[in-house]
Amino acid sequence: MAHVLGQNQYGKAENRIVRVYRDSTRHEIKDLNVSVALSGEFEDVHLTGSNANCLPTDTTKNTVYAFAKEHGIESAEAFGITLARHFVDDTAPVHRARIRIEEYAWERIRTPDSEARFIGSEEVGHSFVRSGQEVRTTEVVYDGESVRVISGLKDLVVLNSTNSEFWGYIKDRYTTLQEAYDRILATQVTARWKYGFTGRADEAEPAWNRCYTQVRRHLLEAFAETYSYSLQQTLHAMGTRVLDQRAEVDEVRLELPNKHHFLVDLEPFGLKNENEVYYAADRMYGLIEGTVHREGVVPVIPVA
């Protein structure tokens, strides 16, 4: 019986690129990790060993670096769209391009006594310290007709030291958990959100950078403001907050590991632990995942 070649894709992954803007004495930097995946007419490459249809992964890498010069990097999303359109529109056998980008944030080093000074209200300088909080992510897919942009963040670690309960759940033969009326709730947020934008000629691009900043803010605020009866409830509040506040977004998916903080039993030592001393566990952890989307929208962000 014959075998069939199904979905396949290839490209250069994890192209680390730093783009410096030196237009004034106040430099700017963009620090990205770009991964390219191309699909199309690649049957021969797999079956016959002919590479006549194959754009080498090395060339996809070169294109990433060349485009950083030719087109600049205004935002990860805009850069991804430009790359994806190029691969599909300019290379016949390529029918679909997926560009994934991670972006690492940097802050300026403030040195009041030194050459870093202000021009108007803007600092100048060329020295940066990496801001280690979350990593910004985006995935752009272009199939020759429309663009799909799913942006997100990961590694954003948050903690509420109170206003979290968990009780009233199913009890079965394997239940030992005690109900909790005041616990720490901590998680490491992975979020992805889909933009309604599809790249039609008459469509305005969202303000990608501002939208990112605002989604991040709403996620943090919803986490902080929700009095929680479960991490599921907090997840739902975070997702709906984004949909409520950002019209550009029509679907949000969150993956929230419940980073357990266990109250340490200090009674054997004659001490009372009034929700003060916790053991922060690595594994195992609860893992809560869910999608919230606008009515009428077909959700597309895949389950991890």
Residues with a known catalytic role: 12, 57, 260
Q: Is 119 in the site for its own copies (CB under 8 A)?
A: no
Of the candidate residues 24, 41, 51, 117, the single one contacting its own copies (CB under 8 A): 51
**Touching its own copies, residues 174-233 (CB under 8 A):** 174-177, 184, 220-221, 223-225, 228-233
Residue of 247, 70, 258, 226 whose CA lies nearest to 157: 258
Q: Are 159 and 228 in contact (CB under 8 A)?
A: no
Q: Is 62 in the site for its own copies (CB under 8 A)?
A: yes
> Which of the stretches 11-19, 141-149, 193-201, 204-212 binds its own copies when contact is defined by CB under 8 A?
11-19
Q: Is 273 in the site for its own copies (CB under 8 A)?
A: yes
CA–CA gap between residue 231 and residue 90 (Å, rounded): 46
Q: Are 136 and 215 in contact (CB under 8 A)?
A: no
- Which lies closer to its own copies via its Cβ, residue 27 or residue 85? 27
How many CB atoms lie under 10 A from the CB of residue 94?
23
Of the candidate residues 40, 41, 45, 198, the single one contacting its own copies (CB under 8 A): 45
| Encoded tokens for 234 | 């907090």
We find the least distance from the C-beta atom of residue 207 to its own copies, in angstroms, to be 21
Q: Is 292 in the site for its own copies (CB under 8 A)?
A: yes
How many residues interact with its own copies (rule CB under 8 A)? 145
| Encoded tokens for 112 | 């009041």
Query: Residue holding tokens 């720490």?
Result: 184
Q: Is 42 in the site for its own copies (CB under 8 A)?
A: yes
Q: Is 1 in the site for its own copies (CB under 8 A)?
A: yes
CA–CA gap between residue 126 and residue 109 (Å, rounded): 9
- Which lies closer to its own copies via its Cβ, residue 96 or residue 202? 96
We find the least distance from the C-beta atom of residue 108 to its own copies, in angstroms, to be 9
Residue of 190, 109, 114, 122 whose CA lies nearest to 156: 190
CA–CA gap between residue 21 and residue 28 (Å, rounded): 5
**Touching its own copies, residues 156-175 (CB under 8 A):** 156-163, 166-170, 172-175
CA–CA gap between residue 84 and residue 35 (Å, rounded): 11
- Which lies closer to its own copies via its Cβ, residue 178 or residue 201? 178
- Backbone torsions φ then ψ of 99, nearest 5 degrees: -115, 120
- Which lies closer to its own copies via its Cβ, residue 161 or residue 214? 161
**Touching its own copies, residues 128-147 (CB under 8 A):** 128-134
- Which lies closer to its own copies via its Cβ, residue 202 or residue 282? 282
CA–CA gap between residue 76 and residue 206 (Å, rounded): 12
Q: Is 85 in the site for its own copies (CB under 8 A)?
A: no
CA–CA gap between residue 183 and residue 82 (Å, rounded): 47
> Which of the stretches 49-57, 144-152, 194-202, 205-213 binds its own copies when contact is defined by CB under 8 A?
49-57
Query: In this structure, which amino acid lies at residue 265?
Result: D
